Amino acid sequence: MNEEMNAKPKSNRAPVGSIQCENTSLNLLKANDFVAKAIKERLAHMLVLNICSSPGSGKTTLLQETGRRLKGQLNMAVLVGDPETDRDATRLKEAGVNALQIVTGGMCHIEAQMILQALDHIDLDNTDVLIIENVGNLVCPAAFDLGEDYRVTLLSATEGDDKPKKYPRMFLTSELMLISKSDLLPYVPFSVEAAGNDAKEINPDIETLAISTIKGDGMDQWCNWIRKKAQQKKQMKNALPQT
């Protein structure tokens, strides 16, 4: 990951290359960044991921399977946001994942303040990885930093490979793009290479991985990625002077 880019709040990260994202300097986003910074400080001892995508791209299914695979290796907690219902948290809990639902009351994204409040209900001392499942939306969540270490965006095979260029801010601010539902690639006109190239034009640092939660393709690499990032975060924390 480019450290210089990571140091900047995601809400006002500068565009790369020819893609123009509007410069968001709204007070609302400044307030959000302030809370996001407080979250970062409080969660300095764990890996924090912000999972974004369009509705239905497979976020919850991925986290159900991720929880099963990481059980006994990393303590994982999930905060899942939806405009209404606690269905996703219920699904995750049924899969044995420690999950808490954030109902946004119709809002199209999670804000840092919602995460900060939810942290009071998580056993932070015994959590290695906190995963936030954002509200399904490729636009609004892109502007709100939630204090995450990495943003991971799913783009499912059925959505079309043209989305990175159409929704650039999400891909500009993500470190990893997961091409989800890769088991459907033989049946739909979707080029993993084209999507990956477009995403790289917007954000040269973005990594791409094709996964199928149902068939298991790419799941070992995805879980290895989480383990590696969790370990790196721990090493970073240990390298800091203890207060």
Could you list the residues that contact ligand GTP (CB under 6 A)?
53, 55-61, 88, 136, 180-181, 183-184, 212-214
Task: Answer with the entry of ligand GTP, Mg ion, none that 67 interacts with (C-beta below 5 to 8 A by kind).
Answer: none
Q: What one-character-per-residue DSSP string does 153-201 give?
A: EEEEGGG-TTHHHHSHHHHHT-SEEEEE-GGGGGGS---HHHHHHHHHH
Task: Answer with the entry of ligand GTP, Mg ion, none that 134 interacts with (C-beta below 5 to 8 A by kind).
Answer: none
Question: Does residue 65 touch Mg ion according to CB under 5 A?
Answer: no
Residue closer to ligand GTP (CB basis): 52 or 143: 52
Distances from the Cα of 180 to the Cαs of 16, 36, 87, 110, in angstroms?
Answer: 25, 28, 21, 22
From the centroid of its chain, how far is CA 9?
A: 15
* Nearest residue to 115 (alpha-carbon basis) of 48, 28, 27: 48
Residue closer to ligand GTP (CB basis): 157 or 230: 157
Question: Does residue 109 touch Mg ion according to CB under 5 A?
Answer: no
Residue closer to ligand GTP (CB basis): 35 or 79: 79
Can you tell me whether residue 24 is helix, strand or coil? coil
CB 177 within 8 A of CB 164: yes
- Give the shortest CB-3-to-ligand GTP separation in angstroms: 30
- Give the shortest CB-218-to-ligand GTP separation in angstroms: 9
Can you tell me whether residue 27 is helix, strand or coil? helix
Q: Which of 33, 65, 88, 175 is in the footprint of Mg ion by CB under 5 A? A: 88
Which one-letter DSSP state was computed for residue 12? Answer: G
Q: Which of 60, 203, 212, 213 is in the footprint of Mg ion by CB under 5 A? A: 60
- Give the shortest CB-84-to-Mg ion separation in angstroms: 12
Binding site for Mg ion (CB under 5 A): 59-60, 88
